[in-house]
Structure 1
Amino acid sequence: MSFVEDPSVLPPFEPARAGAIRGMLGVTLGQVAYAIAAYQGKPFPPALLEAWESGTVVPDDDEVKALAAALWCSPVDLVGEATTLAQCRTLAGLTMSRTAAELGMTRDRWEDAERRNRWRGTAAQTDALLRVLRPPPACFVAACGTSRQLKNLLREAVNGWWPNYVTAVAGIVPVEAAALRHALEQLHLYYQQLEGSVGASSWAAASAEAQAADFVERIDLYLWQQLRAMGNPPVHGAGPGTY
């Protein structure tokens, strides 16, 4: 894996993963700190590693790589889900030039897409993007600039007959329709349960109303939560003119 040509941009560090891997290896804070010091060529205090694992201090990308080397794992094992195109490229271990070639576009065009985190590729290029970089659905939707459109569809779906919205949502979210059907059904059922509590006691009704308002406001986040709970279902390709 090479990060020589272009700077790497890792997703946010996940403290719990670092502690879990160290525990699995059965090594102490001091032993890992010694390995990090050897990798960096300078002293490294065990207390700083403890702060990383507790989440009180966040390591930068170079420090994450040093920790990964000390734990005999990949930096990918220590970070969360990619949220930008640049992070997707980094996790795939590709340079900008290699990514552009894989997607069938010029390097300048990919660099612009990465810098702006905006995707405007053709259907064929989108298919390649999904296959090569495998962006998480939330990342892909954000890069396409369709987040607001998706939220509007989801709000209509939970308020109406949700099966009618599967096709439209599938045109935005690159996930198999079966998985989206299940996710939309669960969102609909949960929202309807909240709505059904309106006739309860005044306190329960007010609480349900507040929960319903929060649910609708962040409904796209609940969709991503449902899809992750299903183990991130396989993605499908782009339809003609979809993106």
Structure 2
Amino acid sequence: MRQPSAVPPPDAPPPFDAAAARRLREALGMVHGNVAYGLNAQYGLDVGPDLVAAWEAGLRTPSSREVTALAGVLWCAPAELLHAARTLREHRTAHGLDAADLARRVGLGVDAYVRMEEAGKWRGNERQSAALTAELGLTPAQFMTAAGRDEELAELLRSAVTTRWQAYVKPLTKMLPVPRAALEGGALENVLLRLHADYQSRMVATLGWGGGVGDAGDGAAGREFLDGIVAHFWERAEGTR
């Protein structure tokens, strides 16, 4: 028996920027009633002036659909009404796309895409990953965060800088299908070499100072470096372009 298609669950509230909404409205010389009228007349949303005011006060958060409509009324891009996006859903909302539209553009069934979005884990192949990156305008770092791969990346990088980094070139190349082109021609090797040297220099300083008390002596500098390893990686990767 054929299973019915999954109905996409209601969107979690997007990272709405209340101050930006108020600023954009005031720049257009509009009051809350004008915005509410536009949402009703242009988009068929049952939104009153009090709800618009509550959005701007941070007391209520509009849905993804409402953010897209509000952007239309305020003559701006949805992204201008959001804080920095991190998840797939937040990036999609920032581009004013619904799940079905984005799924079609990247070559996925809507049910499969919605499951990935809800789980916070992107499972698309290399071609689909490239399409997703293009549709949402993601940088390599944004893609990895939205795909839910930051912790996996961190684990590989920590191993690379604390042991033999050369052994992790292939695993990292396989893991980074989207940024691979940006890190080809020995660039990835150079990034790992620099990360390894930076970490080892911190640990050598620890040993050289006799392991005494303090940031260097107790290894805190090395631990701090490992805690921020993903950020360090992208900083050096950007420097190779």
Task: Measure the CA separation in 1 of the matches of 2:160 and 2:201.
Answer: 15
Contact 1:11/1:83 (<8 A) preserved: no
> Aligned equivalents of 2:228 and 2:236: distance in 1?
13
Identity, in percent, stands at 30
Residues 128-139 of structure 1: pairs in structure 2 closer than 5 A? 128-138=131-141
Which of 195, 208, 223 is residue 203 of structure 2 equivalent to?
A: 195
1:1-20 deviations in Å (ceiling 9; x for gaps): xxxx996668645699x59x
CA deviation profile, 1:100-119 (whole Å, cap 9, x unmatched): 22222222222222222222
Segment of structure 1 superposing worse, 129-138 or 166-175: 129-138
Q: Distance in 1 between matches of 2:71 and 2:90?
A: 17
Pairs aligned (count): 213
Q: 1:102 aligns with which of 91, 105, 111?
A: 105
Q: Which secondary structure state, in structure 2, belongs to the residue aligned with residue 35 of structure 1?
A: coil
Q: Does 1:222 align with 2:229?
A: no
User: Within 5 Å, which residues of 2 pair with 1:139-158?
Assistant: 140-141=143-144, 146-158=149-161
Match of 1:209 in 2: 219
Aligned mates of 1:151, 1:139 — CA distance in 2:
15
Report the equivalent of 1:237: none
Measured in 2, the distance between the counterparts of 1:187 and 1:127 equals: 27
- Pair 144,45 (structure 1): closer, same or farther in 2 beyond 3 Å: closer
- Tell me the residue number matched to 1:177: 183
After superposing the two structures, state which structure 1 stretch, 84-93 or 136-145, moved more: 136-145
Q: How far 1:60 sits from its partner (Å)?
A: 3.0
Cα distance in 2 for partners of 1:196, 1:137 equals: 32
Maintained 8 Å contact 2:166/2:189 = yes
Q: 2:35 maps to which residue?
A: 39
Structure exhibiting the larger radius of gyration computed from Cα positions: 2
Distance 1:15 1:225, change over 3 A: farther
Contact 2:121 2:149 in 1 (8 A): no
**Counterpart of 2:35 in 1: which secondary structure?**
helix
CA shift in 2, pair 1:220/1:39, >3 Å: same
Cα pair 1:13 1:59 within 8 Å, conserved? no
Change over 3 Å in CA distance of 1:146–1:31 after alignment to 2: closer
The residue identity in structure 2 corresponding to 1:219 is I
Please give the alpha-carbon distance, in whole angstroms, between the structure 2 residues aligned to 1:45 and 1:8.
19
Could you give the per-residue CA deviations for residues 59-94 of structure 1, whole angstroms, max 9, x where no partner exists? 734697798679754231354443222122223332
Q: Which amino acid aligns with 1:153?
A: L
Unaligned runs of 5+ in 1: 234-243
Which SS does the other structure have where 2:49 is aligned?
Answer: coil
1:196/1:35 CA distance change after superposition, 3 Å = farther
Q: Which runs of 5+ in 2 are unaligned?
A: 1-7, 37-47
Cα 1:114–1:184, aligned 2, differ >3 Å: closer, same or farther? same
Aligned in 2, Cα 1:81/1:136: closer, same or farther, shift over 3 Å? farther
Contact 2:144 2:150 in 1 (8 A): yes
TM-score, normalising length: structure 1: 0.62
**Residues 4-19 of structure 1: matches in 2 within 5 Å?**
12=15, 18=20
Q: In structure 1, give the amino acid aligned to 2:35.
A: Y
Q: Which residue of 1 aligns with 2:44?
A: none
TM-superposed CA distance for 1:154, in Å, is 0.5
